[in-house]
């Protein structure tokens, strides 16, 4: 949801920084509204006020923590002090924007800088070595009764420095709540984008984008023979037949009771895999092929090259036989152990695949013996 302060007749989307299926992480700009960014930040709660220079509170602590997580160096004071403002300013600049400042406070800071210059000049004059005293002033020279003593000039200089420090913080970068949206701890993938350039945000309950904050994972169902070979932590590879993308994953959990997969309707043991490399684009109910190398069987098994096995949208797998007389034919199979680039197969219908049959590997028409 956009922050309440960002909606209204002038809240026109001028740029969209993300797209469907893209991953949003803390610090990413999501959209630009009337030329100003809307950042996603990992915070424990939605900002409840504009955070201005000198303010302190739990919201400032949360923002400082978020900035540190992004590699910046704010203070740990719980106050929007000069060090935190410098970090905030760099955060904005690194993303192509200028952090907002208060123009009236900037004017006051300029006056304070001029006052400091005057105080420094007065202190230098008060501490300047004087010539030897004379009985009478030089011709045309009059005493200056308003010139401060050294002690007075020193105190005035200290006060001018305090005033400048105070006004510089008030004039420094701030963080409007209208420029921050709450992001789940682990980020999220955009499942739907509800705005485009030109959209006017009229209501605070209209989402800018919908996110799936859960980490991407793979779920599979295996039979009793396969589950006995699997252990948590075992490494494997994931292949998406539709896109040709390959990634690495590890088993994160192995079911101990039989269950029915809600997507395919297959009965077996539920096995979950977590990506150990960059995860694939999230897409619910999408089928991929997972290969987990295990120890070789002591008994001969029917096997084919791993590249000969393909998967259907419903999660089932098959091999394609290449027969000179009848042409190609898809045969449903269940996969088993994997070793040396080969995978054990068990035809869904007994004897549909036999030792010596040719299977298609990669390019249609190429054949390899399916027996190991």
Residue 179: the pLDDT is 94
In sequence order, which residues have a C-beta less than 8 Å from that of residue 166 and are 6 or more positions away? Answer: 54, 112
Residue 43: the pLDDT is 93
Give the length of the chain.
Answer: 372
In sequence order, which residues have a C-beta less than 8 Å from that of residue 333 and are 6 or more positions away? Answer: 309, 317, 318, 319, 345, 346, 347, 348, 353
Comparing C-alpha atoms, which of 127, 115, 132 is closest to residue 152?
127
pLDDT lower than 70: segments of the chain? 1-8, 103, 105-109, 111-112, 114-116, 119, 122-123, 130-146, 153, 157, 160, 163-169, 203-206, 213-215, 260-266, 281-286, 294-298, 315, 340, 362-372
Residue 189: the pLDDT is 83
pTM, entire model: 0.49
Residue 365: the pLDDT is 37
Helix 82-94 and helix 150-171, axial crossing angle in degrees, nearest 10: 40
Residue spans per domain, the chain: 4-100+174-212, 103-132+142-171, 215-292, 294-372
Residue pLDDT, tens place only, 59-112 = 999 999 999 999 999 999 999 998 999 999 999 999 999 998 876 766 665 766
Instruction: Classify 294-372 by CATH class.
Output: mainly beta
Residue 150: the pLDDT is 73
Mapped onto helix, strand or coil, the DSSP state of residue 75 is coil
* Pairing mode of beta strands 36-42, 180-183: parallel
> How many C-beta atoms surround the C-beta of residue 30 within 10 A?
22
CA distance 42 to 71: 14
CA distance 65 to 59: 10
């Amino acid at each position: 949801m956009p922050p309440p302060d960002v909606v209204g007749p002038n809240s026109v989307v001028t740029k969209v920084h993300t797209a469907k299926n893209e991953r949003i992480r803390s610090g990413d700009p999501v959209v630009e509204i009337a030329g100003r960014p809307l950042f996603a930040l990992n915070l424990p709660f939605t900002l409840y006020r504009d955070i201005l220079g000198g303010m302190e509170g739990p919201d400032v602590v949360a923002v400082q923590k978020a900035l540190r997580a992004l590699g910046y160096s704010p203070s740990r004071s719980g106050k929007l002090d000069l060090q935190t403002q410098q970090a905030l300013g760099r955060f904005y600049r690194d993303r192509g924007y200028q952090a907002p400042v208060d123009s009236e406070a900037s004017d006051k800071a300029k006056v304070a800088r001029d006052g400091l210059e005057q105080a420094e000049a007065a202190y230098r004059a008060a501490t300047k070595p004087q010539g030897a005293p004379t009985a009478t002033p030089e011709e045309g020279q009059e005493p200056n009764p308003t010139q401060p003593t050294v002690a007075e000039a020193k105190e005035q200089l200290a006060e001018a420095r305090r005033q400048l420090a105070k006004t510089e913080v008030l004039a420094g970068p701030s963080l409007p709540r209208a420029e921050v949206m709450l992001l789940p701890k682990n980020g999220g993938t955009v499942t739907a984008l509800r705005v485009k350039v030109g959209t006017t945000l009229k209501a605070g309950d209209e989402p800018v984008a919908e996110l799936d904050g859960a980490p991407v994972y793979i779920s599979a169902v295996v039979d009793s023979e396969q589950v006995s070979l699997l252990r948590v932590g075992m490494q494997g590879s994931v292949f998406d037949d539709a896109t040709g993308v390959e990634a690495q994953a590890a088993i994160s959990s192995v079911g101990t009771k039989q269950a029915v997969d809600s997507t395919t309707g297959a009965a077996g043991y539920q096995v979950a895999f977590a990506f150990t490399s960059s995860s694939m684009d999230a897409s619910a109910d999408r089928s991929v092929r997972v290969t987990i190398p295990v120890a070789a069987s002591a008994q001969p098994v029917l096997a084919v090259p791993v590249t000969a096995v393909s998967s259907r949208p419903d999660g089932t797998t098959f091999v394609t036989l290449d027969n000179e007389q009848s042409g190609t034919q898809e045969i449903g199979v269940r996969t088993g152990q994997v070793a040396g680039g080969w995978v054990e197969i068990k035809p869904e219908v007994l004897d549909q695949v036999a030792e010596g049959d040719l299977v298609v590997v990669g390019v249609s028409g190429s054949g390899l013996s399916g027996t190991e």
